[in-house]
Amino acid sequence: MSKILLIDGSNYLFRAFHGLPELSTSRGEPTGAMKGFLGMLGRVAGMVKPDYAAIVFDAPGKNFRHEMYPEYKANRPPMPDDLRVQIAPLHGVLEALGWPLLIIPGVEADDVIASLAEVAKRDGHDVVIATGDKDMAQLVEDRVILLNTMNTTFYDREGVIEKYGVPPEHIIDYLALMGDKVDNVPGIEKCGPKTAAKWVNEIGGIDAIKAHAHEVTGKIGENLRKGLGFLDEAVKLVTIKRDCVVPGAEKTEDLAFRAPDDAALSAFAHRWEMSRAGLDRAMAAPAKRLLKAAPPAQPVLTEGLFAGLGEDQPAAP
């Protein structure tokens, strides 16, 4: 049975940027996020061995959740300039490596990944979602698992229950109760993971918790009753869409690996002072086979290729 790997590119990018020391070229241009991302990409490709794949990034600008709740993500600081200038070169080298790349305006990477997972299941494929985002746990089911490459752990249904204390079908309730400080989604005051899991397991989902809120005693019960008015909105904000239209990815076969661009990879390695062997390690096995089958690349001048990338990037979403 074929396997599709869906990578949360935005999540990986920020992890790579914040997880590595500052690295730069001899000209002082930052490269740490790119190097970290490519290193993680090589590890996940080796662990999953996918037949199809997509790396999905958030598009710049607002999305439908901002229309629902204008304060959504309003607490986030602007993207650091040292990260912003690495985005376009990274996108370019990922495509040169043969990875399918998707950036869909109006929705988030989570929504695109969930919608692609639905397509993959319909087409009879198993799905691995590579992310460090806890929201994605709501997508886990028989044919969909998560991979957190920071701790090299796969999470199936039992893994989600062990980690969060609730099954995948109750992750939305769990998240709505706690809220999400990163995304500026209010929850029930003082309701942390243990309390949220306790309520879900003992009472049920959000509707049941609302119905039995008067039975919850103590200060936390008061907080629950005070926060009931926003719970339905919180549920909508933390629920990942599974029915997005993803142009060019109507079927899983649209996410086949492309033949790598050997000349562009050599140009990138030269321009950004990286090891070509290191780039090759970020290439998935299907792409490597396509590269071997391709005719030898013609020599190209590397000066100027990728040179303008990394400048004048759009504002952070």
DSSP string, 246-262: -TT-SSGGGGBPPPP-H
Ordered per-residue pLDDT tens for the chain, 317 residues: 799 999 999 999 999 999 888 999 999 999 999 999 999 999 999 999 999 999 999 999 999 999 999 999 999 999 999 999 999 999 999 999 999 999 999 999 999 999 999 999 999 999 999 999 999 999 999 999 999 977 889 999 999 999 999 999 999 999 999 999 999 999 999 999 999 999 999 999 999 999 999 999 999 999 999 999 999 999 999 999 999 999 989 889 999 999 999 999 999 999 999 999 999 999 999 999 998 887 665 555 444 445 444 444 444 44
* CA–centroid distance for 123 within its chain: 22
Alpha helix stretches (DSSP H) within 97-217: 109-122, 157-164, 171-178, 193-202, 206-211
Tokens of 292: 């071997």
Q: Which domains does the chain have, with CATH numbers?
A: 3-162+242-293 (3.40.50.1010), 167-238 (1.10.150.20)
| C-alpha–C-alpha distance, residues 59 and 47, integer Å | 27
Q: The sheet that has 3-8: what strands, in order across it? A: 101-103, 52-57, 3-8, 126-130, 144-148, 153-155
Query: Contact 176/187 with Cβ under 8 angstroms?
Result: yes
Report the phi/psi class of residue 285: left, alpha or beta, with left for phi > 0 and alpha for psi in -120 to 50: alpha
CA–CA dist 199, 205 (Å, integer): 8
Neighbours of 297 (CB within 10 A): 14
Contact 140, 163 (CB under 8 A): no
Does this model's pTM top 0.85? My answer is: yes
Q: Confirm if 235 and 229 have CB atoms less than 8 A apart.
A: no
